[in-house]
Structure 1
């Protein structure tokens, strides 16, 4: 461990910049002129760096500043480190103006990915008053049912889009509605239940396998929706996978009508009425309120404010629930 300290101490930003200038100018003399130093002082600094790292950085047999393999590696990594230092400095400066260093948006499987990516494009197009990008690192994560709440409550997400409104939010969580989504009971056109009369009873449905999307919650109690006690269940990781399973006649289940609209139109799926009354599901979006302690960042930063402003638009909220691609990726 003591041997590592001199090496770390030698790799200063000035030393890395010196290597970059020598390589760029092609000679110690030219680099010394650019740095405002005498060539002998520059040569001494290089030798000190070589002694600290215990490697040769330049080929002394060449009249030019010819890098060795070790010198080239240090140059490449040094340039990368200098760029990262500049990026960190820029992010710190932007955070001081109110932009978060990172923002995580958790999105439920019922939400339009097309619209989410359009919002991401809009976010990255933002500019600060000095014409720079905000510098906020954006993360989008996919969650299902209670997993969405868990990501928000645990601090793993700053904004949750597609939260079910049937559970009152915890203290310190703000919640607003997105809108309603109608779910239809769907199956492949050649499924046995597609051949019987409507409405379908629970007894008829119970005799057939259901397809369900797994709740992504790890600590909170998973939510089970529209499954009958004792029913055989095939569990899949996403709504797209569920729709694919339905089209392959692997089971039956309730799915958001906007996400299967094209499959229904093409006859890849059929919808059947059921005896159990089912109201449209109400979804919302939620975020940690400004009063909630957030050790990772200042609350209600400009990045979160931008997303909340977009969600204030009725057209955006409608698009998040309605604008889906025709068929799931698994079916293309």
Structure 2
């Protein structure tokens, strides 16, 4: 059985990108070359991996197995290259870092400055996504470190960065009843929610807590931008939710920021990496700087 790594990469990118054309752009090849590589992989394995009768092409049962195994193989190969590079004593390197849009500016901007001063030869390749997408990329070996919310899957190890109580943002003239500087979830009954987009792990955390309090929230708007969410809330569209660290810097006339209770809710951000995976010098240095505060 002759399986080439190039074919495995082509196949995984077709699945990840949702088609042959975007996969070709990702691996810097032509669409026909990517299609040929996938065909060669199918011939070598003796199974059809993609059902091309539908658009976009859909994984077959064999394709599901090959994708799962391919991600492990390719991630291990990246670890191998990184470890050998450090054995050669290379002075330059790359840190592939994934951070969520929520909280990163406050928590990590100072770390970037210190890291750059200490390790000017290391390039930081930064991607920003919600925690769900970052977990997928970390699992696939596309990232060295990712900012994820605790609790997380056992396949990851992690180092705590910051834990903050969750707050609810309300328009000043809103109907919800507050008790001092806090509010119970039950007081939000009947009030629409303004949440982040589906890839943000904050969403299920808020929705699960609301349902535990007997609410069935109506999500009236979703966004990936904190500032837009704040403006929607201030305009009276509904209740928004942010960790206290982010909410306090966005207080303004016409907006209330209240700590959630009954049930209380906390936002716990950590830097995660694959359990048992190779941590490069650059990744270890970033973890040390983050822990130093």
TM range (shorter): 0.5 to 0.7
The SS at the match of 2:237 is coil
* CA distance in 2: counterparts of 1:222 and 1:268, whole angstroms: 24
TM-score by length of 2: 0.58
CA contact (8 A) 1:180 1:282 kept: yes
TM-score by length of 1: 0.52
Q: Which residue among 143, 152, 156 is the counterpart of 2:138?
A: 152
RMSD over aligned Cα, in angstroms?
3.1
Structure 1 match to 2:245: 258
Which blocks of at least 5 consecutive residues in structure 2 are unaligned?
A: 1-83, 208-214
Which blocks of at least 5 consecutive residues in structure 1 are unaligned?
A: 1-91, 128-132, 293-298, 317-332
Give 1:230 shift.
4.9
The SS at the match of 1:178 is strand
| Cα distance, 1:309–1:239 mapped onto 2, change above 3 Å | same
Structure 1 match to 2:268: 282
Work out whether 1:137 is the aligned partner of 2:123: yes
Give 1:119-138 correspondences, 5 Å limit: 119-126=111-118, 133-134=120-121, 136-138=122-124
* CA distance in 1: counterparts of 2:184 and 2:111, whole angstroms: 42
Structure 1 match to 2:206: 226
Q: Which residue among 191, 198, 211 is the counterpart of 1:208?
A: 191
Give 1:164-203 correspondences, 5 Å limit: 164-170=149-155, 173-193=156-176, 196=177, 198=179
| Cα distance, 1:281–1:273 mapped onto 2, change above 3 Å | closer
* CA distance in 2: counterparts of 1:97 and 1:118, whole angstroms: 28
The SS at the match of 2:268 is strand
The SS at the match of 2:204 is coil
CA contact (8 A) 2:192 2:217 kept: no
* CA distance in 2: counterparts of 1:268 and 1:245, whole angstroms: 12
Give 1:197 shift.
5.4
CA contact (8 A) 1:169 1:175 kept: no
Query: Can you list the C-alpha shifts for 1:218-244, whole angstroms capped at 9, x where unaligned?
Result: xxx996232343523311113333223
Work out whether 1:235 is the aligned partner of 2:218: no
| Cα distance, 1:223–1:155 mapped onto 2, change above 3 Å | farther
Structure label with greater radius of gyration: 1
| Cα distance, 1:156–1:242 mapped onto 2, change above 3 Å | farther
* CA distance in 2: counterparts of 1:215 and 1:99, whole angstroms: 40
| Cα distance, 1:209–1:164 mapped onto 2, change above 3 Å | same
| Cα distance, 1:147–1:100 mapped onto 2, change above 3 Å | farther
